[in-house]
Amino acid sequence: ARIKSSIQPYSLESLVQCADGTEVVNDVRSELASYVKVLSDEKSRYSDRRVARREVKILRKELRAREEGVVADLLMNSDVVLATNVGAGSSTLSKYLQKRGEGFDLVVIDEAAQALEASCWISILKGKRLVLAGDHKQLPPTIKSNEVRVQRGLGRTLFERIMGSKQEDGKQMSRMLRTQYRMNADIANWASKASYGGNLISHKTVEAHKLSDLPHVTPGVDDVLNFSPLLLIDSAGCDMHETVNSAGSRYNDGEAKVVAIHVESLLAVGVKPNE
């Protein structure tokens, strides 16, 4: 349920259903179900139940072996295996690596700056080399504890620790990807100066693009609406007070209303909700 429909066909469950050995697995499962039915039927004869009990034991063992075989074949023929950090510790993957006799050639952990170090080591120990990708200038990992010592201890990620480390030859272990392909340069420049020492560069395909350039937006809206890529509104002294809920989250109804008004003005001239 948590997997997007577009990538569902590539999930292990879907691949197993289409695998060559799955038909045999389904036959074993059906045969097993028939014997289980005999055991649950109070009218079954003692001799039939005894045979069924023996067959259930044999078939369960066979089913387990065949299922593991199908999964092992899929993994063995896959160039890339995707998993969450915690999912990398599954018994299925562990059995496959044990059968293979060695770890993966390379482990890549995406959004590593938002992952607790303990969870990262589950994946790290499965491979020979490691690449951590992330941004420690953005959101930290979620830590569900009010204790300051826990927050401080778990709040510093493996990614952040490595950022300040060097290799044995003295070379820096980290590399910064300097070019961004998402936003207008006005937005990127603000973030670049605030968090990245001015080192962030905007690609030419996005540096000047604006909502008003979209073909379905009313022509000339730049003259009647503030279509500036970066719009900062100072709410100080406007009686817009911040509120903290029971869970500790902060929100501001006044600022939310200002944002809603601006979004409605954009929608009114043709900007689509998904944009």
Q: pTM for the whole thing?
A: 0.74
Estimate to the nearest angstrom the gap between the alpha carbon of 86 and the chain centroid. 12
- Output the pLDDT for position 247: 78
| pLDDT at residue 223, as a whole number | 62
Per-residue pLDDT of the chain (275 residues; tens, 9 = 90+): 477 888 888 888 888 878 777 788 788 888 888 888 888 888 888 888 888 889 889 988 888 888 788 888 888 888 999 999 999 998 888 888 888 888 899 999 999 999 999 999 999 999 999 999 999 998 888 887 777 777 777 878 999 888 877 777 777 788 899 999 999 999 999 999 999 999 999 999 999 998 888 899 988 776 656 678 888 888 888 889 999 988 778 999 999 999 999 899 889 989 999 98
Residue type, 161: R
CA distance 46 to 204: 80
CB neighbour list of residue 217: distance below 8 Å, 6 or more residues apart = 211, 269, 270, 271
Instruction: Indicate the residue type of 231.
Output: L
Residue 151 host element (H or E): helix 148-155
